[in-house]
Structure 1
């Protein structure tokens, strides 16, 4: 081949690559525009089939976007697998200590089933301080407002109204800027998370029949909409933030930032102590959850978060903290795990008075006397008493005859309807219990599997970790339903 021919071929290849790059950029731009419209089209929340159809369209579009974004630069440089390396953990520990963090008597370690956590290097008695993290080490919304994001946050309504989103964008700024103060912390953060943002369509389908599915779809749709919104801004604006992020901002990176904030954020007092601000707290966020009580507080005099031992910990044991009274669904959506033996778990059930009910107005009038709405979500609780007073009153009012409604509307003791000992007609009580029984059995029928089948799947443990998590979620819901059904059966037979 002649020299001129080779030069001509090189020019042809360069032109073709340039054309392909321009074509990919245009295709990405159009796909993001489509995603913004699609994710902003919110289906009726009660029609789960429409929400699933919307999600499937979004998922197909996101797969296309992720493929188009594969060539965007990533600062990990192939180091994703060494998050837990001794070198990175040593740099992180040294950074913490150099900036005033206290964690004498404990160290960072790996624990089966937990990834990283904190290990007691000595016996740590109940109530003793085992870690303290100064505010200057935290990524906070206040720090974001003092960074290059200052003007962006001031003018952008989304960032103003959603501090968790602002914190996610700030995390990305710190990840991609040169010489970030927070680099030792960011380097030891997980590269992916077990949140629903990382679930495949097949894994999400395991939640069919579960009320948690709608919440998961809403979370994914909201994240997709935010990504499309920010992508449009960063790719079309020439301010400091956009110049930094446009080369790196991808859907995968945004999912990572959102998941980091969702699973790890806490709230601390603002500088003026007037309000609470969202914060990522290095070291503290390595503590895993257990049942107990809140043992973390902010010390304003020393300007640091302090964590006390919620029980006696022996040398070599993992140090746990209590994340707060959350349901399994809240842990599943926001933390990516489901704790065992969660005494705060509950199952949502939505009840309402039919518009066609001829006694609708009287039922609503009596409900109003008790501070209840004509359509309301209640919680079935785990444990010996699954039905609270508000749900009990609603069931009774829902099933009353006209005479019974007239009596209780006129009564000055309508609040008694919230107590199980309230003297009522036996037939009304049985009708109320049977109504809820029927409703719960219909709910169980919407699931694709039985509780026994779920337990068998969990024992076999042959599925992906996300699938196992989804099965645990739906199984915990069914356990509450069955617990309530058994409780109702006892009362129906009385």
Structure 2
């Protein structure tokens, strides 16, 4: 019989401790009431357990595979090997003709032009065969183990991450030059320390991050159990490695048409695309397309030889970029803030009626609303607040109206404006870091970690949007309530 793949240098006492930590983590992530009642306390306890688990799972035998020289010289060699691999496996990708790699960009690694490139000129073309995809995952050893797993079919990003993880642990992997070129550390909030996450408290991005951490732990526990029970021999399934693989998948995955895609059967795969995923973010427009089994990217702007080639990652606000990719963009043209509003308690005598009225316009009693950079008040937020403060008498009149997104009454509009003011005030005062502290951090960035500086930048941008919304609300109130 093959050796169990979870056998690594751990004594019986250590294995018993690992089991205790895993059980404790499961109890924490399964306890929905304690999570929602105190997000900060939850994350402090969970991250302490995760630290203990990572320390306990340290496997000296795996260090040569997983730990690599982090010097500039070593990274440059890896990029050379990646270039050679692409020339061999993807000879028409335009490497060294239109583009090459750099390890000295402001963002770290990046793609630079080998010649002057005109706006809208094709600069990179990557064939499907060199991509790591959910399709190649299904054909892998991991895919065979998870072939009939219902949870995995619902989480293609996790399947992609598991595929990447075990390819990284395979010294003979076809994708080794690509995998070796991937970052080993990511500035993603789900990998922050508890102290750093505490600074994010009060931001809508904080709750999104906590949910990601919870999901990541639940999935790890789930697949840990599956791999432990499998008869297939694999390297150890360690939390730190899984966290890294999820970070890669989350920050770099792209959606591409599946091989059997047709107009009538529009199926997609997730893919990690070598070369293209080393392009850093630039504000602009999407210029990357999939055509004839290749992913092609065109220059957003004219680029001089030696300059960095940037691509636009799509219409994502700063919160999404921060949570899923670990950075924020100053003066982001498509920035917005997603706020969760819950202002209709179940104890409200009119709760059922209000829920019914909200349902007619496709809104729930607990609802998220997106406020753009200008601060313009969303019409669905206004209508939510109108219904949240509606009286029984006004409700009777309102239900007779044909236009369901209309004003209810003058008194209702006054109460609506007051409720919206309370919402914005509560959001502003809910931040742990005051505007003064944020300004001080950004004026003295050398005193703080890169993660803390990113948090401060995000909080300032979120507050700017909320301030703009409050100003518009003041004007709206003066015009609406007379």
What TM-score do you get using the length of structure 1 for normalisation?
0.87
Q: Which residue of 2 aligns with 1:198?
A: 191
> Secondary structure, in 3 states, of the residue corresponding to 1:307?
strand
Of residues 124-133 and 431-440 in structure 1, the stretch that sits farther from structure 2 once superposed is 431-440
Q: Which residue of 1 aligns with 2:472?
A: 487
Is the 2:189–2:326 contact (alpha carbons within 8 Å) kept by the matching residues of 1?
yes
Q: Deviations over 1:321-349 (max 9, x none)?
A: 11111122211111111122222322313
Q: Which residue of 2 aligns with 1:451?
A: 435
Is the 1:433–1:492 contact (alpha carbons within 8 Å) kept by the matching residues of 2?
yes
After the TM superposition, which residues 386-465 of structure 1 pair with which residues of structure 2 at under 5 Å, given as runs? Answer: 386-417=376-407, 426-461=410-445, 462-465=447-450
The alpha-carbon distance between structure 1 residues 398 and 57, as it changes in their structure 2 partners (threshold 3 A), is closer
TM-superposed deviation, 1:296: 0.8
Q: Which residue of 1 aligns with 2:252?
A: 264
Establish whether residue 281 from structure 1 lines up as the match of residue 276 from structure 2.
Answer: no
Q: 2:161 aligns with which of 157, 168, 171?
A: 168
After the TM superposition, which residues 299-314 of structure 1 pair with which residues of structure 2 at under 5 Å, given as runs? Answer: 299-300=291-292, 303-314=293-304
Of residues 133-142 and 361-370 in structure 1, the stretch that sits farther from structure 2 once superposed is 361-370
Establish whether residue 75 from structure 1 lines up as the match of residue 60 from structure 2.
Answer: no
The alpha-carbon distance between structure 1 residues 254 and 20, as it changes in their structure 2 partners (threshold 3 A), is closer
Establish whether residue 24 from structure 1 lines up as the match of residue 9 from structure 2.
Answer: no
Q: Deviations over 1:198-220 (max 9, x none)?
A: 21111111011122222211211
> Secondary structure, in 3 states, of the residue corresponding to 2:168?
helix
CA RMSD of aligned residues (A): 2.4
Q: 1:324 aligns with which of 301, 314, 334?
A: 314
Is the 1:451–1:479 contact (alpha carbons within 8 Å) kept by the matching residues of 2?
no
> Secondary structure, in 3 states, of the residue corresponding to 1:133?
strand
Establish whether residue 379 from structure 1 lines up as the match of residue 370 from structure 2.
Answer: yes
TM-superposed deviation, 1:182: 0.5
Q: Which residue of 2 aligns with 1:180?
A: 173
Q: Which residue of 2 aligns with 1:108?
A: 101
Gaps of 5+ in 2: 1-7
Of residues 99-108 and 25-34 in structure 1, the stretch that sits farther from structure 2 once superposed is 25-34
2: distance between equivalents of 1:360 and 1:37? Answer: 33
Establish whether residue 207 from structure 1 lines up as the match of residue 200 from structure 2.
Answer: yes
Is the 1:107–1:120 contact (alpha carbons within 8 Å) kept by the matching residues of 2?
yes
Q: 2:331 aligns with which of 322, 326, 341?
A: 341
Is the 1:139–1:281 contact (alpha carbons within 8 Å) kept by the matching residues of 2?
yes
Establish whether residue 189 from structure 1 lines up as the match of residue 182 from structure 2.
Answer: yes
2: distance between equivalents of 1:181 and 1:42? Answer: 42
The alpha-carbon distance between structure 1 residues 369 and 85, as it changes in their structure 2 partners (threshold 3 A), is closer
> Secondary structure, in 3 states, of the residue corresponding to 1:290?
coil
The alpha-carbon distance between structure 1 residues 150 and 254, as it changes in their structure 2 partners (threshold 3 A), is closer
> Secondary structure, in 3 states, of the residue corresponding to 2:248?
helix
What TM-score do you get using the length of structure 2 for normalisation?
0.89
1: distance between equivalents of 2:341 and 2:243? Answer: 31
Q: Deviations over 1:243-296 (max 9, x none)?
A: 2222xx321111111101011001111110140111100111011112211111
Q: Deviations over 1:126-147 (max 9, x none)?
A: 1110101000110001111112
2: distance between equivalents of 1:78 and 1:163? Answer: 27
Of residues 466-475 and 334-343 in structure 1, the stretch that sits farther from structure 2 once superposed is 466-475
Q: Which residue of 1 aligns with 2:5?
A: none
2: distance between equivalents of 1:233 and 1:361? Answer: 43
Q: 2:285 aligns with which of 293, 296, 303?
A: 293
Q: Which residue of 2 aligns with 1:9?
A: none
Of residues 85-94 and 179-188 in structure 1, the stretch that sits farther from structure 2 once superposed is 85-94
Is the 1:80–1:191 contact (alpha carbons within 8 Å) kept by the matching residues of 2?
no
2: distance between equivalents of 1:158 and 1:400? Answer: 42
Is the 2:65–2:171 contact (alpha carbons within 8 Å) kept by the matching residues of 1?
no
Q: Deviations over 1:157-183 (max 9, x none)?
A: 332221111111111111112311101
Is the 1:36–1:229 contact (alpha carbons within 8 Å) kept by the matching residues of 2?
no
In terms of Rg, which structure is larger?
Answer: 1
> Secondary structure, in 3 states, of the residue corresponding to 1:63?
helix
TM-superposed deviation, 1:197: 3.0
TM-superposed deviation, 1:77: 7.2
1: distance between equivalents of 2:114 and 2:459? Answer: 38
Q: Which residue of 1 aligns with 2:3?
A: none
Gaps of 5+ in 1: 1-17, 418-423
The alpha-carbon distance between structure 1 residues 20 and 280, as it changes in their structure 2 partners (threshold 3 A), is closer
2: distance between equivalents of 1:235 and 1:370? Answer: 48
The alpha-carbon distance between structure 1 residues 113 and 69, as it changes in their structure 2 partners (threshold 3 A), is same
After the TM superposition, which residues 96-175 of structure 1 pair with which residues of structure 2 at under 5 Å, given as runs? Answer: 96-100=86-90, 101-103=93-95, 104-175=97-168
Of residues 88-97 and 312-321 in structure 1, the stretch that sits farther from structure 2 once superposed is 312-321
Establish whether residue 89 from structure 1 lines up as the match of residue 103 from structure 2.
Answer: no
2: distance between equivalents of 1:76 and 1:393? Answer: 56
Q: Deviations over 1:183-239 (max 9, x none)?
A: 100111101111123211111110111222222112112222222333334344331
Is the 1:266–1:278 contact (alpha carbons within 8 Å) kept by the matching residues of 2?
yes
TM-superposed deviation, 1:363: 3.8
The alpha-carbon distance between structure 1 residues 245 and 43, as it changes in their structure 2 partners (threshold 3 A), is farther
